[in-house]
Amino acid sequence: MTPETPSEQRERRGQNKKTPSADLSVAVRETERVWRKHHLTYDQTKKVVEQARHHLGLSAPSERRRTVDRLDRYEVEQLVAAAYRRSSLYGLLVKTLFYTGARVSELTRVRVEDVYFDLDPPQVRFTHAKKGSDRFVPILPSLAQELRTHLVARRAGHLFETNRHAHYAARTVQAVVQQAAKDAGLQKHVHPHLLRHSIATLLLDRGMPIDQVQKFLGHRNVTTTQIYAETSTGQMGRSYLTALER
């Protein structure tokens, strides 16, 4: 048997030291290279992941965490205020993301024509909802008025758009939220979808029926919404007091 050369020994030792995280980093870089090559959008990358899981026979674990992280009302207010300090546009973007419970891919595609200011209460229509489940959600009149001011006299185009009149990229919204969280001094890992978690549990805490929260979020199955009910402690507390104070 031919003895290993020093270079071969070093290579073998390097291979033995590889960790799962290192392997994952390689997979991420290779995936990113393929996605860039094919110019995939955010929604298309999600579809690719779903199809790849299907072809590989991968399924979600049978035991999953039954609660979700969220921001409380005070933390949301801090986040929004920090975004406003950066710019009024960023503040309004983060506020709208929270109060509509929208996914980033939904909000960035909302057009001016999708905002119904004259309804009572005003409503926003999401036409790029997940799995094609378009829906209307109500918004506060004060938020609607702020959106009117933001639009000035504009009657077409995206609700939030770049200087080139294109919709914002998901990574841009993510960067805005993360910077606002940093500016606000929030210690949690804050990302756009966390605002969706937060409004869902807040609505349940304040007594909105779970089937209405389901429609608000655009969930096809109420079992998906149930995880927010399990996170909501306010409703449980009221039920506890009601049961014992009779």
Active site residue 196: yes
Q: In angstroms, what CA-CA distances link 170 with 43, 227, 230? A: 10, 25, 29
Per annotation, catalytic residue among 70, 95, 109, 219: 219
Out of 90, 99, 168, 228, which one is annotated catalytic? Answer: 228
Using alpha carbons, select from 146, 92, 139 the residue that is nearest to residue 116: 139
- Residue tagged active-site, from 95, 103, 128, 197: 103
CA–CA dist 190, 193 (Å, integer): 8
Is residue 135 flagged as an active site residue?
no
Catalytic residue among 111, 130, 135, 191: 130
DSSP at 65: -
* Distance, CA of 167 to CA of 111 (rounded, Å): 9
90 catalytically annotated? no
38 an active-site residue? Answer: no
- Buried-exposed string 85-95: b where 16+ CB fall within 10 A, e elsewhere: eeeeebbbbbb
Active site residue 84: no
Q: Which of 70, 167, 196, 197 is catalytic?
A: 196
188 carries an active-site annotation: no
Is beta strand 115-116 parallel, antiparallel or unpaired with respect to 123-126? antiparallel
Cα dihedral 240, 194, 79, 233 in deg (nearest 10): 0
The values of phi and psi at residue 124, to 5°, are -120, 135
Interatomic CA distance for residues 209 and 198, integer angstroms: 16
Among 86, 125, 193, 215, the one annotated catalytic: 193
Tokens of 212: 């209405």
Q: Please give the positions annotated as active site.
A: 103, 130, 193, 196, 219, 228
